[in-house]
Amino acid sequence: MTLLDSIRAGERGILVSGIHLQVIQSILDFDYLSGKERSILGIVAGGRKSVKLFWGPEEFLMPCFASFADVPEQFRAQVRFLLNVQSGRRAYESTVAFFEAFPEAYGAHIFAENVPEASATMLIEQYGKTKVIAGPSGVGFVVPGLLKLGAIGGVDATQLWTNKLMTSGSVAVVSTSGGMTGELINAVAGADKRLSFAFCIGGDRFPVTALSEVLKLAQEDPSTKGIAYFGELGGVDEYEIVELIKSGTLTKPVAAYIAGIIDESFEEHVQFGHAKALVATNDESARAKREALRACGVDAPDTFPEFLEALKKLPGADHKDVPVDIAPLLSRRSSILSTREIIDLKSIPVFVAEGKLVTPETGFMSAVTGALLGRPLTSPISQAFFEAVATLLIDHGGNVSGAVNSMITARAGKDLVSSLVSGLLTIGPRFGGAINEAAGLWLTGAQGGLSASEFVTLETSGGRVILGIGHKKYRVGMPDPRVAALSEFATLLDSHPHYDFARSVEAVTIGKNGSLILNVDGVTAALALDILSECEGYTRSELTALKDAEFFNALFILPRSAGFMAHILEQKRNDEGLFRLPDNLLYTRPAGEE
């Protein structure tokens, strides 16, 4: 079974060594558009545990491993290829480490340029005859609809679609140049033909897999009917084609373009882009190579437009393009931080139904609340209420300021306590610290003799806001489900003056703005006052003392600390590395602007 047979049989698992997000994402997009499962199993890169990428329109976290030995057992049996995007000086050791860890793997692509020639020759000695390795210095290889190993064929969805990489065909593209591999793939699609596979050998002086081996792969492949080849001045690769044809090893038609005739215009030979693109002897010139290829029957025209016409003459089986919708991939935007929903606000528990407690069990929060008050809670209603408050206030998503602070600090490598403290220090009148102030307002309003309208006018004079009223997300017609759940506790009480006053204030404020609803801070404060008063016997002066000691803010700080820690621990599990705000989300004022 040849390499292509194995790939077509579904053996396509890739490990990546190093991080090159654009190339990695292009492979995932190829897989998605081809209707296949993800071929990339993970990334070997120290210093992090995951990298954020897209699968189709949705983000996900790709796992990272510290070394090849750390790849989990569930992935190991699937590994067949290495995508090595390490630097030139690290390419050799990382490639060897991969094949030592996965000796049954089929091959690799070494992306880096300037791999030391001594390293390249050692790779040839070790793997040149047993593995298929594209590079160094190239874009990899692709088998349409099945495997894309490298940047080959494009790095965005539009290029993948334009190059028809999801539909298999009959023309093999082979080239030393990464850029020209892309041009040939596009030219084949423009000639209304499709690829059987494409392979970029690499532009460095010593590619690991020789041109002759790739051409033999094309010859043995039943799907390949013709070969499109791009070469250039320097080196003797093209004479391998000549020898294969003369020996009868290569019988399939070849269209070739050899670049670099311009070298003849200079007094001395010029070094072009690739390491071996320099004429050392006359037979390495573009002209000599063209003539040698023509002599053995290769269609090797003098100009690139003529070469494009030659592509049209290559045999090509009929094809039906796989339908592809790239639209979902064009409007993606990366999130700033990765987190999960700690509690599901779309599925709020029922605490009170038809005037009866549904969940009267006591627990941790009841004990803690008793400790904060200095005496235990005695009423099942009190116990259930404070448990409900804690349940609903654990988290409100990863985008709130305290959670963001906690996650950014964790991403900086700080410990749990430091990360937690950074989130807690965000709590104040604008975030999470409103329960205590709201309690003070409801204490004053319920006993002060002012109507709700008069109270609102007084409290908002001078531009002040009423804490406990208003929400950024919820509004009239789209209520906060937490407020609705907690409000049911009012049905368990004989009287609830603080809750009634808070609702009367809300009736005034929503007349001014639909977002000025009673929020979870406001309802928690109001009902805590009423429940402590009726169920636990607290006097007005005792409630005022609790407010002065900031007891009511503890009802937020305690559960939200657990939420912050959940986000912190998640960041440490994901370990995406140090967070840096993207430039496009940061406005930098010009010098001198006030």
Phi, psi of 242, rounded to the nearest 5 degrees: -60, -45
**What are the tens digits of pLDDT across the range 84-136?**
999 999 999 999 999 999 999 999 999 999 899 999 999 999 999 999 999 99
Same structural domain for residues 313 and 452? no
pLDDT for 279 beyond 90: no
Residue 311 sits in the same domain as residue 365: no
The answer to whether the beta carbons of residues 51 and 25 sit under 8 Å apart is: no
Q: In this predicted structure, what is the pLDDT of residue 278?
A: 40
Residues 263, 396: one domain?
no
- Of the pLDDT bands very low, low, confident and very high (cuts 50, 70, 90), residue 360 is low
Please report whether residue 431 resides in a domain.
Answer: yes
User: Mean of the per-residue pLDDT values for the chain?
Assistant: 90
Distances (CA, A) of 549 to 312, 372, 433, 439: 84, 10, 13, 12
| Residue 220 belongs to domain spanning | 3-319
Number of structural domains, the chain? 2
Residues 414 and 485 in one domain: yes
In 3D, which of 184, 161, 139, 197 has the Cα closest to residue 7? 197
Q: Are strands 226-232 and 254-259 parallel, antiparallel or unpaired?
A: parallel
pLDDT of res. 362 = 58
Residue 338 resides in a domain: no
Asked if residue 438 belongs to a domain, the reply is yes
Residues 436-441, mean pLDDT to the nearest whole number: 95
Alpha carbon 362 to chain centroid distance?
A: 41
Among the ranges given (367-371, 510-514, 555-559, 568-572), the one the predictor scored with the smallest mean pLDDT: 367-371
Q: Quick check: bond before 136 cis, omega within 30?
A: yes
pLDDT reading at 339 higher than 90: no
Place of tokens 């979902």: 328
User: Are residues 397 and 483 both part of a single domain?
Assistant: yes
Catalytic residues: 274
28 and 122 assigned to the same domain: yes
Contact 186, 309 (CB under 8 A): no
Averaged pLDDT, 212-234: 92
Is residue 247 domain-shared with residue 380, that is, in the same domain?
no
| Structural domain contains residue 446 | yes
- pLDDT tens, residue by residue, 441-476: 999 999 878 899 999 999 998 888 999 999 888 999
In a domain, 326, yes or no: no
In a shared domain, residues 283 and 356: no
- The reported pLDDT for the residue numbered 46 is 83
The per-residue pLDDT for range 67-82, each reduced to its tens digit, is 999 999 999 999 999 9
Which carries the bigger pLDDT value, residue 266 or residue 400?
400
- The 10s digit of each residue's pLDDT in 134-174 is 999 999 999 999 999 999 999 999 999 999 999 999 999 99
Is there a single domain that holds both residue 191 and residue 46?
A: yes
pLDDT of residue 8: 96
End-of-domain residue from the set 319, 337, 368: 319
What is the DSSP track for 406-432? HHHHHHTT--HHHHHHHHHTT-BTTBB
Could you identify the residue written with the tokens 């404060």?
525
**Does 582 map to a domain?**
no
Q: Residue 388: pLDDT above 80?
A: yes
pLDDT at residue 237 in the model: 77
Q: What is the mean pLDDT of residues 467-486?
A: 91
Asked whether the predicted pLDDT for residue 515 surpasses 60, the reply is yes
Is 593 a member of any domain? no
Position with higher pLDDT, 361 vs 220: 220
Q: Do 229 and 370 share a structural domain?
A: no
pLDDT at 263: 55
* Pair 301, 401 in one domain: no
- CB burial of residue 550 (10 Å; 0-12, 13-18, 19+): middle
Predicted structure pTM score: 0.74
CATH number at residue 12: 3.40.50.261
Which range, 33-42, 262-271, 280-289, 433-442, has the best average confidence (pLDDT)? Answer: 33-42
Residue 342 located in a structural domain: no
Rounded percentage of the chain residues whose pLDDT exceeds 70: 93
